[in-house]
A and B are shown apart, each in its own frame.
Chain A
């Protein structure tokens, strides 16, 4: 009996030693803390995270979009090597200049060269947005813009021709409104309304900044507001309180046969468990002026904070998530559009993701939001103005824009 006990104790000790050594080996891997928002890119990463071939453990610090910037900014200000540090940050495109100018991010050129990553493989227009003083600070991914999504079965049944320019789009919206539906669009006091309006403006080659000065009263800006109003007048009942999710819901449930959807959310339209139009949804560009469609270039960026203690390990992760294979899988799985130009021509991608071409075409004509410390504040006022225009019966476009111009013009 005694011998048996001794054998058991020895076995327990040996197994304990083996377990301890094993866990030591596992913990010898360094941690790469990745800051992301809860959304489609994170959902895809969660599915494939275990297949990361690098030498680090990936820990995703996941927060809601509303808290992401605040969390990242607080982390940038913490000392190197402290517990609050982030190693990789998933940054919204327009935040990049603010982060780079404050010295919060590190240049990726040397890391990319050492890892053999070709930065020219990514969309050149976006890469130029991420280049400051000749140095590259991020790699773009998850490109989004507003596209027109429609139920092709409904179009067939009602002999509706797919619009090929703005006038036809408006005529169709009017026709649908007369039938009791209308066009589903994000017309609430939120970013969706600004993105929609700005795409109408960019399609006419307009911009809110001219020669470095804010110019909200130009004829192009006023005309784009009129076109926006015309669309909202023919939107679905209730659309004036819809953000992007509202549009997706209306399309999924066949409340509206046509809608202006943010391409990053289109995967929900293809989900057969949630969408009644999963098999019949098709896309065409949001023509903002004539037959031109131009995107408000919304994209996300992988970057490394300046206080990252192991940039090499951090870049190893970035190189993986921006690689052709990873991005292709992400595109096929979750319909996200990559910044890799070659992927837009991949036959499998083109056939599986029907809006890829529409997004890339709009991106090639598109523009990013202007860079200015007061832009966020202006955008929030613009959202209010747009929702007011949509709700009002006879708005004075020029007067409304002049009011905003006088408030922001001087401090721009």
Chain B
């Protein structure tokens, strides 16, 4: 089929879809594109909360230069990547295990378990972080359970340790996000034909091999969608980290978005906060946006 070329001349029948899509385009323009360019514009100035944004305060790219000199920003970039990769990896691994196990259960049991599985998704992230603060308290449930297997606070410092704080944030994020992955993967699993599993069973293929050679390849597109949505969401996320550690200790769990928030509302440095937000956007694009677009293009070319 010939692809229609996008040009100024509209063929018959193109008018209605164009009119119908216009409101969406307008909303995207007003609430996404214009604010994004405004953010970039602010990042090129020296603008503090309560100050004025004028050409006198134009500093060009010096905020970006300062950002790459700032040790906290460098640390925050590394932490953001670790946080995003850790969160998405855990989401996928645990999400897959849970959805496959759920899928194999009897329908009645599935109906009972699914609503419970989805519950964390309905909890506000800041509430999640408060809940995890209590769980990770030295006198909380987690340390009680760790104590039962002989792990003490001195061995695992949780949110108070520089090497463990980010891991605790990742764990709390898993709890929030895995239900979303389970929902999407469950839908994907339902689309795989039962015949394939039956054929594999008849051939005497084991569970792991069935999963590896049938389930996993057929869920590839679903995984790519999850990686994009979950990945971008994780890079933007700050509430869990803010509630649990506020970026500490010693910035060991500081993420770009949280640092941007702190710069804006604790230090009043709006232009630097915008600079960090633009860097967050670029990071999201590089880590998840571009790979997704490339994957889509490759699939389109293959088909």
Contact = CB atoms under 8 A, between A and B. Distances in A.
Given A76-B50, A237-B153, A240-B157, A388 B137 contact: no
B166 to A, nearest CB: 13
Interface in B236-280: 245-252, 254, 262-263, 265-269
Interface string A29-72: 00000000000000000000000000000000000001101100
A394 to B, nearest CB: 14
A391 B250 contact: yes
Contact of B249 (A98, A236, A381, A387): A387
A376 B266 contact: yes
Contacts of B89: none
Main secondary structure of the interface of A (DSSP, over half): helix
B261 to A, nearest CB: 9
Given A77-B50, A241-B160, A384-B251, A189 B268 contact: no
B106 to A, nearest CB: 43
B50 A98 contact: yes
Contact of B245 (A236, A241, A403): A241
A70 B49 contact: yes
Given A188-B249, A241-B245, A384-B248, A69 B160 contact: no
Interface string A370-406: 0001001100110111011011100000000001000
Given A237-B138, A391-B160, A391-B162, A189 B251 contact: yes
A391 B249 contact: yes
Interface string B89-130: 000000000000000000000000000000000000000000
Contacts of B265: 66-67, 69-70
Nearest to A104: B50
Nearest to A238: B138
A387 B160 CA distance: 9
A113 interface: no
23 contacts: A69-B49, A70-B49, A104-B50, A189-B245, A189-B249, A189-B250, A190-B248, A236-B138, A237-B153, A237-B154, A238-B153, A240-B160, A240-B248, A243-B246, A255-B139, A376-B269, A377-B269, A384-B72, A384-B250, A384-B254, A385-B250, A391-B249, A391-B252
A4 B71 CA distance: 85
B226 to A, nearest CB: 31
Interface residues of B, number: 33
A255 B140 CA distance: 12
A236 B154 CA distance: 12
Interface residues of A, number: 35
A403 B69 CA distance: 13
A94 to B, nearest CB: 12
Contact of A189 (B139, B247, B269): B247
A238 B136 CA distance: 9
B153 A102 contact: no
Contacts of A377: 263, 267, 269
Q: Which 6 residue pairs of A and B lie closest in terms of their CB atoms, listed nearest first?
A: A189-B248, A388-B250, A240-B160, A238-B138, A73-B50, A387-B249
Contacts, number: 92
B179 interface: no
Contacts of A392: 162, 250
Interface in B37-85: 48-50, 71-72
A102 B50 contact: yes
B161 interface: yes
B170 interface: no
Nearest to B159: A241
Contact of A380 (B48, B154, B267): B267
Contacts of A387: 248-250
A73 B153 contact: no
Contacts of B165: 241
Contacts of A190: 246, 248
Contacts of A236: 138
Contacts of B72: 381, 384
Contacts of B137: 238
A98 B49 CA distance: 11
Contacts of A73: 49-50
Given A73-B50, A388-B162, A240 B249 contact: yes
Given A66-B265, A238-B153, A380-B262, A188 B50 contact: no
A166 B268 CA distance: 36
Interface in B8-45: none
Contacts of A255: 139
A380 B160 contact: no
Contacts of A237: 138, 153-154, 160
Given A73-B50, A373-B48, A391-B162, A188 B248 contact: yes
A67 B157 CA distance: 32
A189 B248 CA distance: 5
Nearest to A373: B48
A243 to B, nearest CB: 8
Interface string A291-319: 00000000000000000000000000000
Nearest to B160: A240
Interface string A74-98: 0011000000000000000000001
A67 B48 CA distance: 15
A360 B57 CA distance: 43
Contacts of B71: 403
A241 B169 CA distance: 13
Interface centre among B50, B161, B269 (most CB of A within 10 A): B50
Contacts of B254: 384
Contacts of A384: 72, 247-248, 250-251, 254
B114 to A, nearest CB: 35
A388 to B, nearest CB: 3
Contacts of B250: 189, 384-385, 387-388, 391-392
B265 to A, nearest CB: 6
For A104, A238, A377, which residue has the most chain B Cβ atoms within 10 angstroms?
A: A238
A190 B258 CA distance: 13
A334 to B, nearest CB: 24
Interface in A202-244: 236-241, 243
